[in-house]
Amino acid sequence: MEKLTVTGWLNVENLTKNEIDFLLTFIPTINYLQKCSDKKTVAYKMFKEQFPTFIVEQEFNYYEYELLNSVIQINIPNKISTKELLERMSEQGFCKPFCDSFLNN
């Protein structure tokens, strides 16, 4: 794995600024919601306002790898590997426990 920052790697993978912003908002927000589920409505409202073209459903539990991967692949089709994204984020200490929980299961 190259020693690029997560943002640097996403740029190399030709993601748009909006796609990068989405990923770097989505994962930390889902991580936060694990601890503060009472903020779910506010968080999903923010997603709709900030990322109106992206599909994120409030009803889903994104704490399962299959669903997390699914939402990433639906919104950023076949541009990146979710596993590699989580590995790179963990390596940099970005939501490390959250990312590691997916990588270790």
Summarize pLDDT for 16-26 with one digit per residue, the tens: 999 999 999 99
**Is 84 a domain residue?**
yes
Quote the pTM value: 0.91
57 within some domain = yes
Rounded distance, CA 100 to CA 86, Å?
8
Whether 84 and 22 have beta carbons less than 8 Å apart is answered as: no
> Is residue 91 assigned to a domain?
yes
What are the two backbone dihedrals, phi and then psi, of residue 4, each rounded to the nearest 5 degrees? -95, 155
Q: Which two tokens stand for residue 42?
A: 């506010």
Domain tally for the chain?
1
Question: Do the domain assignments include residue 14?
Answer: yes
Rounded to whole angstroms, how far apart are CA atoms 98 and 77? 23
Backbone Cα Rg of the chain = 13
Angle in degrees, CA 75, 103, 90, rounded to 5: 80
Closest CA to 83 of 30, 11, 91, 75: 91
Asked if residue 46 belongs to a domain, the reply is yes
Residue 89 domain flag: yes
Query: Is 1 part of any domain?
Result: no
pLDDT score, position 2: 61
pLDDT one-digit tens code per residue, 52-89: 999 999 888 789 999 999 999 999 998 999 999 999 99
Residue 43 lies in a domain: yes
**What is the extent of the structural domain holding 43?**
6-103
